[in-house]
Structure 1
Amino acid sequence: MRITGEQRRQRLVVRQLALGVDGPREPAATTPEEVTRRLVALHATDAPSVHLAVLARAPGLGLDDVRDALFERRSLVKVLGMRRTMFVVPRDMVPVVHAAASTDVARRLRTRLLKELATLPTDPPVADPESLLAAAQEQVHAALVEHGPLDGAQLSRAAPLLRTAFLPTTDKAWDVRRTMTSPLLSVLSAEGAVVRGEPRGAWSSPRHVWSPMTDWFPDGIPALDEDAARTELARAWLEAFGPATVADLKWWTGWNLGQARRAVAALDVREVEVEAGPPGGDAVVADGVMLRSTDLDVDLDPALDDVVAGHAALLPTLDPTTMGWTARDWYLGPHRPQLFDSAGNAGATVWWQGRVVGLWVVRPDGDVAWRLLEDVGADGEAAVADEAARLGALLAGSTFTPGYTTPAYREMLAG
């Protein structure tokens, strides 16, 4: 069975983008939790992306709705998981992501930090890296219990061992003195000891606070078998992102190929061919899989043609859909150089009918501006303009600077 690029793009719109519309499987998403669950996880490395990803998909929601889910209800939780990336996941998925991805990340991060403490020059010198990390972790825990949520700077004052510094070993501009604060907090986050909380100041601020994970899970994150958790995470991902290749799953999770294959083998899947070439280009076919329970006829119902044909979206930096697959030509086309930075991070993108067609920015005056990279016709331009106006009204003059920008983005922002 072959899944065409057009069919994949229609399912992308139905399953991931037009979530404010009643679908064939589920009603319209009306909460940030519902939006997040249908995407498995939202990228949270760049602070504004979580809010913007929700607003792009559920027209009835605003910035405060996302904040309440994150920090009042705590039904969405920030975790350091797949690919050593910060994500937001539904509360009941935290144990799955923790066992399937975070624990392995934590082991690698702790090993690396111990190696750096043992081999790099530090101030003060470190005689026993294991003892230092144990003592620093205890200081962090004590400081958070005593003072409540603290940001990194506050923590480094309350837990002085965090100020242990790695010294430069070269004359390179990037090789500067750096403290242990950030790497240790990454270790503790991946281990499930601390959780990233609300930002200081504006909703888009990158200056966030940390709290003990026990503030979210009083008994700690429930323990799951790692193999079983990987199988469950693969199932959830294929439900949202399939049909797709095992290579796509491997990339998204950060697993090795053996782990990805074992997770898929434990599921009831069928092998398919997926077209992976750019829209309108030569057919490029790859071996893929899809859950046997997936009924493509439901998602590809002709009754949904109008939804797909008229759908425009402005997705943020590192959006979960833009970053959902490693093979992206079938929805990205020729626009990778303009819309991704050199490290593979996606900038803010304009979508039309399930494919990327441009980029957008919020200028310093709060204006939402957009630029198309291909002709989408009068209807497409009108739909993009309407979506930009809707998003601008929700932001109400609020401005922010993404953490990841491309030359095209910077050029447009300056213009």
Structure 2
Amino acid sequence: MTGKPRHIGVAERRVRLGLRQRLVGAARARTPEEVADSLVALHGTDPATVYLAVGARLTDARTTVARVERALYEDRSLVRMHGMRNTVFVFPTGLAAVVHASTALDIAAKTRAGLVKDMAAGSDGRLTGPWLAEVETSTLAALARRGQATVNELTGDEPRLREQFVYAPGKSYEAVQTVSSRLMRLLGIEGRVVRGRPLGSWTSSQFRWAVAPPHPPLPPAEARVRLLDRWLTACGPATEADLKWWTGWKVTDVRRALAAAGAVTVSLDDGVTAYVAAGDEGPV
């Protein structure tokens, strides 16, 4: 785009969000999958927020709980997994590979190295990286046999999950940790397991685990471009700071993805520079 960037004021931004995030009557969705696809991701750290986000955007909110549960646990058209900022979200299953490659690979490598280091330091060297690899292979095999399982059920199949170690020995925040909790979280960040049905109602924060649906590996740079383009379409215009916060990426990664996606510069109120997806700079 040449010349002066187009100005998008507050009123137009509200219209864009209302339509694209399905908050106005004419734009409401028929299914939870349509909601997730429009928003890119549904924040899922608190289980109830997923249902509230969907219910607020459906044409008929009365069936929200049943339909979200079916999408998550029966049809598997939605998946709950670690994503941006190492936070749990619910995504369309088809977006899992993009989210994993664009946001989780670096975090996963650091998390694994941290766990191996903590285990060795807190067990006098008894719990090692090769030992952990054996335990995780056995755990994943048990989980595949069961389909879904709680941590307690998995420890029955793989007793080494009960092993404990001292976290930060000698520090004021020293604590005893169990291999199972750290390992399952690591496998989630690595995209190898996902959270399944909760143990209680739809508001419960205790989940079963399931093997993650397979997806092809993607080059991280390509995945970042695809994720950024999707989010700009749903939430743009957005500033570099907005994108850095939402993705958890480095500023350099944000800038490279903006350039590769061909994002278009626009101006906001007070002269702030922001970006919209290529071809999306026109009025709504």
TM-score, normalised by the number of residues in structure 1: 0.63
Determine the C-alpha separation between the residues in 2 that align with 1:79 and 1:140. Answer: 18
Q: Does 1:292 align with 2:278?
A: yes
Determine the C-alpha separation between the residues in 2 that align with 1:155 and 1:29. Answer: 38
Q: Which residue of 2 aligns with 1:8?
A: 13
Q: How has the CA–CA distance of structure 1 residues 171 and 107 changed in structure 2, closer, same or farther, with 3 Å as cutoff?
A: closer
**TM superposition shift of 1:296:** 4.4
Q: In the TM superposition, what are the counterparts of 1:278-357 in structure 2 within 5 Å?
A: 284-298=270-284
| Residues 119, 166 of structure 2: 8 Å contact kept | no
Determine the C-alpha separation between the residues in 1 that align with 2:283 and 2:273. Answer: 20
Say which SS state the counterpart of residue 178 (structure 1) adopts. Answer: strand
Q: Which has the higher helix share?
A: 2
1:18-75 CA distance string (max 9 Å, x none): 15x334xxxx410000000110011111111111110011141321011111111110
Q: Does 1:259 align with 2:253?
A: yes
Determine the C-alpha separation between the residues in 2 that align with 1:50 and 1:296. Answer: 31
Q: Which residue of 2 aligns with 1:358?
A: none
Q: Does 1:40 align with 2:44?
A: no
Determine the C-alpha separation between the residues in 1 that align with 2:272 and 2:170. Answer: 45
Say which SS state the counterpart of residue 268 (structure 2) adopts. Answer: strand
**TM superposition shift of 1:104:** 2.2
Higher relative contact order (CA 8 A, sep 6+): 2
**TM superposition shift of 1:200:** 1.3
Match of 1:107 among 106, 109, 112: 109
| Residues 106, 191 of structure 1: 8 Å contact kept | yes
Say which SS state the counterpart of residue 211 (structure 1) adopts. Answer: strand
Say which SS state the counterpart of residue 195 (structure 2) adopts. Answer: strand
| Residues 22, 35 of structure 2: 8 Å contact kept | no
Determine the C-alpha separation between the residues in 2 that align with 1:6 and 1:146. Answer: 54
| Residues 149, 211 of structure 1: 8 Å contact kept | yes
Q: How has the CA–CA distance of structure 1 residues 126 and 146 changed in structure 2, closer, same or farther, with 3 Å as cutoff?
A: farther
Determine the C-alpha separation between the residues in 2 that align with 1:146 and 1:10. Answer: 49
| Residues 126, 132 of structure 1: 8 Å contact kept | no
Determine the C-alpha separation between the residues in 2 that align with 1:211 and 1:221. Answer: 15
1:293-344 CA distance string (max 9 Å, x none): 115422xxxxxxxxxxxxxxxxxxxxxxxxxxxxxxxxxxxxxxxxxxxxxx
| Residues 76, 89 of structure 1: 8 Å contact kept | yes
Q: In the TM superposition, what are the counterparts of 1:127-166 in structure 2 within 5 Å?
A: 127=126, 129-166=128-165
**TM superposition shift of 1:17:** 4.5
**TM superposition shift of 1:181:** 1.7
Determine the C-alpha separation between the residues in 1 that align with 2:98 and 2:243. Answer: 16
| Residues 244, 274 of structure 1: 8 Å contact kept | no
Determine the C-alpha separation between the residues in 2 that align with 1:143 and 1:239. Answer: 41
**TM superposition shift of 1:222:** 1.2
Q: Which residue of 2 aligns with 1:97?
A: 99
| RMSD between aligned residues | 2.0
Q: Work out the percentage of aligned pairs sharing the same amino acid.
A: 38
Q: Does 1:22 align with 2:8?
A: no
Determine the C-alpha separation between the residues in 1 that align with 2:196 and 2:33. Answer: 17
1:196-245 CA distance string (max 9 Å, x none): 111112111111111122xxx3xx22111111111000100100111011
Q: Which residue of 2 aligns with 1:356?
A: none
How many aligned residue pairs are there? Answer: 276
Q: How has the CA–CA distance of structure 1 residues 171 and 233 changed in structure 2, closer, same or farther, with 3 Å as cutoff?
A: closer
Say which SS state the counterpart of residue 275 (structure 2) adopts. Answer: strand
Q: In the TM superposition, what are the counterparts of 1:115-264 in structure 2 within 5 Å?
A: 115-119=117-121, 121-122=122-123, 125-127=124-126, 129-167=128-166, 169=169, 172=172, 175-213=174-212, 217=213, 220-264=214-258
Q: Which residue of 2 aligns with 1:80?
A: 82
| Residues 192, 221 of structure 1: 8 Å contact kept | no
